[in-house]
Amino acid sequence: LDQINLMTYDYNGVWSKVTAPHSALFCDPRAPKELDGAGTFNIHSTVKAWTHAGVEPQKIIIGAAAYGREVSGVTPTD
């Protein structure tokens, strides 16, 4: 294995139950724990999972998002 490209974006979107960053670097400690992926839908957790699986860190390339998404029609609690 020379390198591995990880898709580290679109963790959240219009399909998510609440609004959240689509490319979070770390877990949001305020995220409701019952949400799918609340503690793992972030770049840090993704890279950590791959290194724990044996992939050498210097072979990991993250696909970082250089765009934003607009969300409308949500309540302040979302």
pLDDT tens sequence across 16-49: 777 777 888 898 787 777 666 667 889 999 999 9
Q: Is residue 68 included in any domain, yes or no?
A: no
Q: How many domains does the chain have?
A: 1
pLDDT number for residue 54? 96
Please give the residue range of the domain that contains residue 14. Answer: 4-63
- Segment 1-7 shows an average pLDDT of 93
Is residue 23 a part of any domain in this protein?
yes
Q: Look-up: residue for tokens 């219009």?
A: 14
Confidence at residue 7, expressed as pLDDT on a 0 to 100 scale: 93
Burial of 46 (0-12, 13-18, 19+ CB in 10 A): middle
Structural domain includes residue 51 = yes
What is the percent of the chain with per-residue pLDDT over 90, rounded to a whole number?
36
Q: 19, 68 in Cβ contact below 8 A?
A: no
pLDDT for 38 equals 66
Q: Which residues pair with 60 in a beta bridge?
A: 4
